[in-house]
């Protein structure tokens, strides 16, 4: 019989670590990744030899990234592999680690996202299917088209869309791991430079380098390794889906998110109003509006008003992109989805300092990737 | 077994009013553009079920965006991209004849035009869209 993650044995995040997201530099990916993994091991209070499998979320480093990095922690002979799922690579690495523990194949598993984005052509350009625009439409124009359509449909303004960048940069200013750590005004966001349609530079996420690591473990491991149970955060849903043909849908991106998140709610047995913190794929400002609606956090067309109302600020009903999101924390591709799990874990442990969402108990992490794919996790603090 | 004959992958056909070369799935009726012969994305029917389907080059503008930043050499920014819902169903993205969004609005009637462009391999023809002049 099929089971959901929640119906298998419990899986907990027990350790988190990051290397700051930053502009591309000469720092080797090995240094980025090891910094994050060592921080996660310290955080969990366990040794590398206790880790039984490792998944490296990465899209740009190239073949065989894991062992040349992880051998420097001591070559213990454990299972390791790379996970590539476009922007959702790091989320998928977390999912694979969770599945190992949930299925009892391991007691402790590692997901580490690490990347140094470069000019590597993706497979979608190699299908030999051509359209009328080719490379003249890149992601920022895809989302500029959706922004224009959204504003026209609901009477939202360019200022309301740009407010997402104001909020997320304010959050990112309090995140030492964020690539952009500076609060910006609405005027600064709108001042440009213009990129595409109504989208300005600060409404598009920075793509740099970095790393994020998450250690997941079973109850047995928590017991045996004497991990602090009060800081362990349970993963209650892990859902991975890909786009279908939505013949009547207005917006494929929102539709894929809608059905993936709906399945995650069902598996975790929660409702949208239970969420205290959400990290979502805000690579471009307009996406946050589309996805808060698709997640059922507000009604259709109400996203712009919800952002301006303060309801999704830290301290509001549900803090969205408390880390700064992709817009401020950054989007180094491989690490991004793993970093979201680290942020939600920090929030649910109440260890997020200046960006702490009060009384956070339930969080959701959401990434989409070119293709398109969507990966969603729900994390909950045990009562 | 011989490979099934693959219809041309040309994207459009020349005529006084150009048409787009779409495909239709015989099994489920799904009509799509751009053309491909790998299999139906909607129902999974194989190559031999996908037949050519000419799509009218007329439609309405569902969205548009003027691109201010572009790195490729094949076109210079600013240029404007439109999302056009064809009267025959599929939505397509195309470069618009209007270089900026001045005077464009969602809902505008659009028609396809063939233009000569200079690409790396010499002169090429491509399909763009332009706003229909309303007769008043």
B63 with B51, same domain: the answer is: no
Q: Which residue has the higher pLDDT, A285 or A249?
A: A285
ipTM: 0.91
Q: Is residue B4 part of a domain?
A: no
Provide the pLDDT for residue B7: 46
Q: Which domains does chain A have, with CATH numbers?
A: 5-117+207-233 (3.40.47.10), 136-202+237-380 (3.40.47.10)
Provide the pLDDT for residue B73: 79
Residue A126, chain B, CB below 8 Å: the answer is no
Which of B13, B67, B112 best probes binding to A when mutated, by most A CB atoms within 10 angstroms?
B67
Cα end-to-end distance, chain B, whole Å: 59
Confidence tier at B134 by pLDDT (50, 70, 90) = low
B72 with B122, same domain: the answer is: yes
B16 with B36, same domain: the answer is: yes
Confidence tier at B108 by pLDDT (50, 70, 90) = very high
Counting Cα atoms < 13 Å in the Cβ hemisphere of A133 gives: 22
Provide the pLDDT for residue B125: 87
When pLDDT is averaged across residues A192-216 and rounded to a whole number, the result is 97
Residue B3 has pLDDT above 90, yes or no: no
Instruction: Compute the residue count for chain A.
Output: 383
B88 with B121, same domain: the answer is: yes
B102 with B50, same domain: the answer is: no
Q: Are B105 and B82 in contact (CB under 8 A)?
A: no
Interface of B with A (CB under 8 A): 9, 11, 30, 33-36, 38, 41-42, 62-70, 72, 74-75, 79, 81, 83, 92-95, 106, 126-128
Q: Is residue B136 part of a domain?
A: no
Q: Percentage of residues in chain A with pLDDT exceeding 90? A: 94
Q: Is residue B1 part of a domain?
A: no
Q: Is residue B3 part of a domain?
A: no
- Cβ burial, residue A54 (10 Å; 0-12/13-18/19+): buried
Residue A354, chain B, CB below 8 Å: the answer is no
Residue A135, chain B, CB below 8 Å: the answer is yes
B19 with B69, same domain: the answer is: no
Question: Distance between CA A91 and CA B93 in Å, rounded?
Answer: 30
Residue B62: both structure tokens together? 């569902």
Q: Over the stretch A72-110, which tens digit does the pLDDT of each residue have?
A: 999 999 999 999 999 999 999 999 999 999 999 999 999
Return the closest-CA partner of residue A181 out of A23, A337, A328, A352: A328
- Would you call A132 and B126 a contact, using CB atoms and an 8 Å cutoff? yes
Provide the pLDDT for residue B9: 59
B47 with B73, same domain: the answer is: no
Please count the structural domains in chain B.
Answer: 2
Confidence tier at B124 by pLDDT (50, 70, 90) = confident
Confidence tier at A251 by pLDDT (50, 70, 90) = confident
Q: Are A175 and A323 in contact (CB under 8 A)?
A: yes
When pLDDT is averaged across residues B30-42 and rounded to a whole number, the result is 96
Provide the pLDDT for residue A249: 65
B43 with B98, same domain: the answer is: no
B66 with B35, same domain: the answer is: no
Q: Is residue B125 part of a domain?
A: yes
Place of tokens 């454990």: A78
B25 with B50, same domain: the answer is: yes
- Per-residue exposure over A368-380, b if at least 16 CB sit within 10 Å of its own CB, e if not: bbebbbbbbbbbb
Cα end-to-end distance, chain A, whole Å: 29
Is residue B117 helix, strand or coil? strand
Q: Is residue B7 part of a domain?
A: no
Question: Distance between CA A317 and CA A358 in Å, rounded?
Answer: 10
By CA distance, what is A128's nearest residue in B? B36
CATH code of residue B67: 2.40.50
Name every chain A residue with its beta carbon within 8 A of the beta carbon of B96.
none
HEC string of chain A equals CCCCHHHCCCCEEEEEEEEEEECCCCCCHHHHHHHHHHHHHHHHCCCHHHCCEEEEECCCCCCCCHHHHHHHHCCCCCEEEEECECECHHHHHHHHHHHHHHCCCCCEEEEEEEECCCCCCCHHHHCCCCCCCHHHCCHHHHHHHHHHHHHHHHCCCHHHHHHHHHHHHHHHCCCCCCCCCCCCCHHHHHCCCEEECCEEHHHECCCCEEEEEEEEECHHHHHHCCCCHHHCEEEEEEEEEECCCCCCCCCHHHHHHHHHHHHHHHHHCCCHHHCCEEECCCCEHHHHHHHHHHCCCCCCCCHHHHHHHCCCCCCCCCEECCCCHHHHCCCCCCCHHHHHHHHHHHHHCCCCHHHCCCCCCEEEEEEEECCCEEEEEEEECCC
Q: Is residue B75 part of a domain?
A: yes
Q: Are B70 and B79 in contact (CB under 8 A)?
A: yes
Residue A120 has pLDDT above 90, yes or no: no
Confidence tier at A303 by pLDDT (50, 70, 90) = very high
Residue A262: both structure tokens together? 């709906």
Q: Are A365 and A79 in contact (CB under 8 A)?
A: no
Residue A60 has pLDDT above 90, yes or no: yes
Confidence tier at B16 by pLDDT (50, 70, 90) = confident
Provide the pLDDT for residue B15: 80
Q: Which residue has the higher pLDDT, B16 or A210?
A: A210
CA-based nearest distance B48→chain A, Å: 17
Provide the pLDDT for residue A382: 83
B37 with B50, same domain: the answer is: yes
Q: Which residue has the higher pLDDT, B10 or A350?
A: A350
Provide the pLDDT for residue A346: 98
Q: Over the stretch A17-33, which tens digit does the pLDDT of each residue have?
A: 999 999 999 999 999 99
Provide the pLDDT for residue B6: 45
User: Beta-carbon neighbour count of residue A49 at 10 Å?
Assistant: 11
Q: What angle do CA B107, B109, B111 make, to 5 degrees?
A: 140
Name every chain A residue with its beta carbon within 8 A of the beta carbon of B95.
132-133, 136
Provide the pLDDT for residue A192: 84
Q: Work out the mean pLDDT of chain A and round it to a whole number.
A: 96
When pLDDT is averaged across residues B41-61 and rounded to a whole number, the result is 96
B65 with B49, same domain: the answer is: no
Return the closest-CA partner of residue A200 out of A273, A259, A116, A144: A144
Confidence tier at A186 by pLDDT (50, 70, 90) = very high
CATH code of residue B22: 2.20.28
Return the closest-CA partner of residue A87 out of A308, A366, A370: A370
Return the closest-CA partner of residue A275 out of A305, A311, A304, A318: A318
Residue B107 has pLDDT above 60, yes or no: yes
Is residue B72 helix, strand or coil? coil
Would you tell me the crossing angle of helices A139-154 and A285-294 to the nearest 10 degrees?
A: 60
- Would you call B42 and A247 a contact, using CB atoms and an 8 Å cutoff? yes
Nearest by CB to residue A152, choosing from B69, B79, B106, is: B106
| DSSP 8-class letter at B96 | B
Question: Distance between CA B128 and CA B117 in Å, rounded?
Answer: 11
Q: Which of A100-114, A117-131, A201-215, A296-310 has the lowest mean pLDDT?
A: A117-131
- Would you call B93 and A195 a contact, using CB atoms and an 8 Å cutoff? no
Q: Is residue B6 part of a domain?
A: no
Place of tokens 């200013």: A173
Structural domain including B23 reads: 12-56
């Amino acid at each position: 019989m099929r089971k959901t993650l929640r119906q298998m044995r419990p899986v907990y995040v027990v350790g988190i670590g990051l290397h700051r997201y930053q502009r591309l530099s000469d720092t080797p990916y090995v240094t980025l990744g090891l910094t994050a993994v060592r921080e996660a091991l310290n955080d969990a209070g366990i040794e590398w030899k206790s880790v039984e499998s490792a998944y490296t979320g990465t899209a740009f480093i190239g073949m065989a990234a894991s062992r040349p990095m992880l051998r420097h922690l001591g070559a213990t002979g454990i299972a390791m592999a790379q996970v590539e799922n476009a922007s959702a690579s790091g989320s998928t690495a977390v999912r694979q680690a969770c599945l190992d523990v949930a299925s009892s194949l391991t007691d402790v598993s590692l997901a580490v996202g690490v990347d140094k984005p470069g000019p590597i052509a993706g497979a979608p350009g190699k299908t030999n299917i051509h359209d009328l625009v080719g490379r003249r439409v890149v992601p920022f124009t895809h989302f500029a088209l959706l922004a224009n359509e959204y504003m026209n449909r609901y009477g939202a303004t360019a200022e309301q869309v740009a407010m997402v960048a104001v909020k997320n940069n304010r959050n990112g200013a309090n995140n030492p791991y964020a690539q952009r750590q500076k609060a910006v005004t609405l005027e600064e966001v709108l001042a440009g430079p213009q990129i595409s349609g109504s989208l300005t530079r600060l409404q598009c996420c920075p793509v740099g380098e970095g790393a994020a690591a998450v250690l997941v473990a079973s109850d047995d491991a928590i017991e045996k390794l004497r991990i602090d149970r009060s800081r362990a955060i349970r993963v209650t849903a892990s859902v991975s889906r890909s786009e279908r043909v939505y013949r009547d849908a207005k917006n494929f991106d929102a539709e894929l998110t809608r059905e993936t998140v709906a399945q995650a709610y069902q598996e975790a047995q929660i409702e949208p109003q239970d969420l205290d913190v959400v990290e979502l794929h805000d690579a471009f400002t307009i996406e946050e509006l589309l996805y808060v609606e698709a997640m059922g956090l507000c009604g259709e067309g109400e996203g712009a008003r919800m952002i301006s109302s303060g309801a999704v600020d830290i301290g509001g009903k549900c803090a969205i992109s408390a880390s700064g999101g992709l817009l401020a924390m950054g989007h180094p591709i491989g690490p991004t989805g793993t970093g979201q799990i680290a942020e939600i874990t920090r929030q649910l442990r109440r260890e997020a300092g200046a960006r702490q969402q009060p009384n956070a108990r339930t969080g959701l992490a959401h990434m989409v990737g070119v293709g398109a794919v969507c990966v969603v996790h729900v994390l909950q603090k045990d009562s | 077994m011989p490979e099934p004959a693959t219809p041309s992958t040309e994207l459009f056909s020349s005529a006084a009013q150009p048409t787009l070369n779409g495909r239709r799935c015989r099994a489920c009726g799904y009509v799509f553009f751009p053309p491909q012969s790998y299999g139906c994305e909607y129902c999974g029917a194989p190559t031999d079920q996908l037949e050519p389907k000419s799509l009218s080059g007329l439609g309405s503008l569902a969205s548009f965006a003027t691109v201010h930043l572009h790195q490729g050499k094949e076109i210079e920014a600013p240029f404007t991209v439109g999302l056009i819902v064809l009267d025959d169903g599929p939505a397509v993205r195309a470069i618009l004849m209007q270089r900026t969004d001045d005077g464009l609005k969602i809902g505008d009637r659009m028609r396809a035009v063939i233009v000569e462009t200079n690409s790396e391999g010499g002169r090429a023809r491509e399909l763009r869209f332009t706003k229909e002049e309303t007769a008043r």
